[in-house]
Amino acid sequence: MAENDKRVAVVTGGSKGIGRAIIMALAEPGLTVVFNHYDPPDDKAADETIQMARDKGCEIEGVRLDVSDYQAVQEFIKGVVERHDRVDILVNNAGITRDNLLSRLKEVDWDAVLAVNLKSVFNCTQAVARYMMKQRYGRVVSIASVVGAMGNAGQANYAASKAGIMGFTKSVARELASRNVTVNAIAPGFIETEMTAQLPEKAKEAFLAQIPLGRAGQPEDVAQLVKFLVSEEGSYITGQVIHLNGGMYM
Ligand SMILES: NC(=O)c1ccc[n+]([C@@H]2O[C@H](COP(=O)([O-])OP(=O)(O)OC[C@H]3O[C@@H](n4cnc5c(N)ncnc54)[C@H](O)[C@@H]3O)[C@@H](O)[C@H]2O)c1
């Protein structure tokens, strides 16, 4: 736990969906949350997240920032530490899909998904790691996906980015463990958010048919696991990819 119980969390992609649920699960007086987002065309969802967290007594800031931009991320994290003195928690949650079968997958869609989903995890984790190592305290949680382990037709770019997060997590966990910084990933299955709302009805039915618990997951299911991993009770867990999918993948 941080000194004086004052903690600072950075959450990427915090305006809606799983990111917003993570912020709400962590939100409490004494915690400062700084999140980013990249929603077109406006900041409406981000403003709602800010209001919801403030209602829980949490100090919160939201900025529009592309997590795949290395330089912008370095400056963003530097600013967080200048304003708030420390950074205790990083949740790498921002992500996108640009699905297509391999034969039709455009280079631009391969590059975009790898940049937003995987390079961002490097950008943000490297930026916070130097402060966390100095503090001798840190918690990094990245949101991967079950398809990073299972594969999924039509998602070669997305699955590759999420499998990349898994390898990155295990390597960095080994590097940072001696400084009391834990690094883990959560691999959710099918979670009801705007991202999955875009899927064709047939694809949704196919996912649901594969879930032994017989229901889609909710953003809060993911958020509660993040909350545990960043808590004192989760302090002996590092280098893990924890699956959360209603039994879809065992
Ligand atoms: N929904 C699911 O079923 C599911 C399953 C497994 C993993 N995930 C992963 O969980 C994470 C959150 O997904 P979601 O369903 O809540 O998605 P969502 O589309 O509802 O929200 C995505 C968030 O990421 C932000 N974002 C997108 N591009 C960005 C960029 N370039 N820079 C900064 N922020 C950016 C958006 O502004 C938004 O806040 C993603 O990494 C996703 O791959 C989702």
Shortest-distance atom of ligand 1 to CA 144: 7
Calculate how far, in angstroms, residue 59's C-alpha sits from the geometric centre of ligand 1.
23
Look at residue 156 and tell me if it is in a domain.
yes
205 burial (CB, 10 Å; 0-12 / 13-18 / 19+) is exposed
Calculate how far, in angstroms, residue 96's C-alpha sits from the geometric centre of ligand 1.
6
Beta carbon of 195 within 6 Å of any ligand 1 atom: yes
pTM above 0.95, yes or no: yes
Edge to edge, the sheet with strand 138-143 lists: 59-64, 31-37, 7-12, 89-92, 138-143, 181-188, 241-244
pLDDT at position 159 is: 98
Shortest-distance atom of ligand 1 to CA 38: 37
Q: Which of 38, 131, 137, 158 is catalytic?
A: 158
pLDDT at position 4 is: 59
Q: Does residue 24 contact residue 33 with C-beta atoms inside 8 Å?
A: no
Low-confidence ranges of the chain (pLDDT < 70): 1-4
Shortest-distance atom of ligand 1 to CA 193: 15
- The CATH number given to whatever domain includes residue 180 is 3.40.50.720
Beta carbon of 38 within 6 Å of any ligand 1 atom: yes
Q: Ligand 1 atom 40: the closest Cα is on which residue?
A: 95
Tell me which amino acid residue 35 is: F
Look at residue 10 and tell me if it is in a domain.
yes
- 131-153 exposure pattern, b = at least 16 Cβ within 10 A, e = fewer: bbbebebbbbbbbbbbbbbbebe
pLDDT at position 136 is: 98
Q: Which tokens hold the place of 215?
A: 């229901």
Residue 4's CB is within 10 A of a number of other CB atoms, namely 7
Beta carbon of 157 within 6 Å of any ligand 1 atom: no
Calculate how far, in angstroms, residue 157's C-alpha sits from the geometric centre of ligand 1.
15
Element (H, E) at 79: helix 70-84
Q: Based on the residue annotation, tell me whether 131 is a catalytic residue of this protein.
A: no
Look at residue 249 and tell me if it is in a domain.
no
Look at residue 39 and tell me if it is in a domain.
yes
Terminal CA-to-CA distance of the chain, rounded, Å? 33
Calculate how far, in angstroms, residue 116's C-alpha sits from the geometric centre of ligand 1.
9
Tens of pLDDT along 234-245? 999 999 999 999
pLDDT at position 2 is: 45
d(CA 26, CA 8): 11
Domain ranges, residue 62? 3-244
Q: Return the closest-CA partner of residue 33 out of 133, 66, 41, 51.
A: 51
pLDDT at position 199 is: 87
Total count of domains within the chain: 1
Q: Ligand 1 atom 42: the closest Cα is on which residue?
A: 95
Look at residue 250 and tell me if it is in a domain.
no
Q: Ligand 1 atom 39: the closest Cα is on which residue?
A: 13
Calculate how far, in angstroms, residue 51's C-alpha sits from the geometric centre of ligand 1.
20
